[in-house]
């Protein structure tokens, strides 16, 4: 898989297809492979770019804290390195959505539209921050196995866990192979992320919000509230899916994204 140097780190990046650029930004603590069904589908019509973020997959790791601003700036630098000059459709899931808010703030001129899957706009509560710092300390001490064991209950719907253990296994394997320092740095970065709710009314770009019906992390109600506050947002619920809707029901998610991209061609 090609790597691209963006200054202090090298990022692993999948780049396939040609046409308007479509950037896929993965969630925590995963890598670009969570988008495999979207990469395969949209490479027929778009220039698909799916990086591993700093600290994840095959990309370089930086220790300490990596904020959502840093991830957003990494993606801006990546687009520069790849000589992407057209407006980009930015599709982020969960932490990828937290990064999307910062990308809008810092690189607005690069954006054509936003696709936000299973994400939140509010900052962490003090309790959530403390849980993240606890996770960061524990992963550095013990490695990521405990996350791989406990996270699927929150990531997937009941149906996915019962009927698609292969998807759960694959995600667990990705988590187990992820750098502990990378996980800790992003967990600390998420704990510090700014509240994006005040930004929502300013996001006048075409936007599609997608949420799994059983998402236990970013609920349907919470995402509907985000959509209501954004001036040009559409809202789509994926039935019987959880937080990982693009992996759990790729056909439904791809169809929603495809319709949105066709309706909002620029």
Q: Which is nearer to ligand MLT, 123 or 181 (CB)?
A: 123
Binding pattern to ligand MLT, positions 222-261, x when CB under 6 A? Answer: ---------------------x------------------
Cα atoms in the 13 Å half-sphere on the side-chain side of 147: 28
CA dist 166 and 158 (Å) reads: 14
Among 94, 157, 179, 180, binds ligand MLT (CB under 6 A): 94
Query: Does 34 contact ligand MLT by CB under 6 A?
Result: no
Could you give the C-alpha distances from 45 to 21, 85, 94, 233, 258, in angstroms and in order?
10, 18, 25, 23, 10
> For 133-156, what is the HEC assignment?
HHHHHHHHHHCCHHHHHHCHHHHC
Q: Where are the beta strands (DSSP E) in 41-197?
A: 47-51, 88-93, 111-117
Q: Which is nearer to ligand MLT, 43 or 208 (CB)?
A: 208
Query: Does 55 contact ligand MLT by CB under 6 A?
Result: no
Query: Does 95 contact ligand MLT by CB under 6 A?
Result: yes
- Tell me if residue 109 falls in helix, strand or coil: helix
DSSP state of 24: E
Query: Does 190 contact ligand MLT by CB under 6 A?
Result: yes
Q: How far is the CB of 242 from ligand MLT (least distance, A)?
A: 11
Contact 139, 184 (CB under 8 A): yes
Q: How far is the CB of 94 from ligand MLT (least distance, A)?
A: 3
Binding pattern to ligand MLT, positions 131-170, x when CB under 6 A? Answer: ----------------------------------------
Q: Which is nearer to ligand MLT, 43 or 147 (CB)?
A: 147
Q: Which is nearer to ligand MLT, 71 or 260 (CB)?
A: 71
CA dist 215 and 233 (Å) reads: 19
Q: Which is nearer to ligand MLT, 94 or 157 (CB)?
A: 94
Q: Which is nearer to ligand MLT, 20 or 243 (CB)?
A: 243
Q: Which of 13, 89, 21 is nearest to 260 (CA)?
A: 89
Among 37, 84, 181, 217, binds ligand MLT (CB under 6 A): 217
Q: Which of 109, 178, 107 is nearest to 148 (CA)?
A: 178
Query: Does 28 contact ligand MLT by CB under 6 A?
Result: yes
Positive or negative, the Cα torsion across 242, 244, 248, 249? positive
Q: Which is nearer to ligand MLT, 28 or 35 (CB)?
A: 28
Query: Does 27 contact ligand MLT by CB under 6 A?
Result: yes
CA dist 218 and 202 (Å) reads: 21
Residues at the interface with ligand MLT (CB under 6 A): 27-28, 94-95, 190, 217, 243
């Amino acid at each position: 898989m090609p790597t691209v140097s963006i200054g202090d780190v090298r990022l692993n990046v999948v780049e396939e297809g040609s046409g308007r650029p479509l950037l896929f930004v993965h969630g925590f603590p995963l890598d670009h492979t969570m988008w495999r069904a979207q990469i395969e589908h949209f490479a027929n019509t778009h220039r698909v770019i799916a990086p591993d973020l700093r600290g994840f997959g095959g990309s370089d790791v930086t220790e300490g804290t990596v904020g959502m601003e840093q991830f957003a700036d990494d993606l801006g630098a990546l687009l520069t390195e790849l000589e992407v000059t057209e407006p980009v459709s930015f599709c982020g899931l969960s932490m990828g959505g937290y990064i999307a808010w910062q990308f809008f703030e810092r690189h607005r001129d690069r954006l054509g539209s936003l696709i936000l899957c299973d994400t939140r706009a509010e900052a962490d509560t003090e309790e959530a921050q403390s849980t993240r710092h606890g996770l960061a300390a524990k992963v550095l001490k013990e490695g990521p196995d405990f996350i791989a064991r406990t996270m699927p209950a929150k990531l997937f719907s009941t149906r996915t866990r019962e009927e698609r253990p292969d998807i759960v296994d694959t995600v667990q394997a990705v988590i187990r192979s992820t750098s502990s320092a990378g996980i800790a740095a992003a967990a600390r970065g998420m704990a510090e992320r700014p509240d994006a709710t005040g930004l929502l009314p300013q996001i006048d770009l075409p936007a599609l919000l997608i949420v799994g019906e059983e998402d236990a992390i970013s609920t349907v109600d919470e995402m509907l509230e985000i959509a209501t506050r954004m001036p040009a947002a559409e809202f789509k619920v994926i039935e019987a899916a959880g937080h990982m809707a693009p992996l759990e029901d790729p056909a439904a998610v791809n169809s929603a994204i495809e319709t949105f991209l066709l309706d909002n061609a620029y």
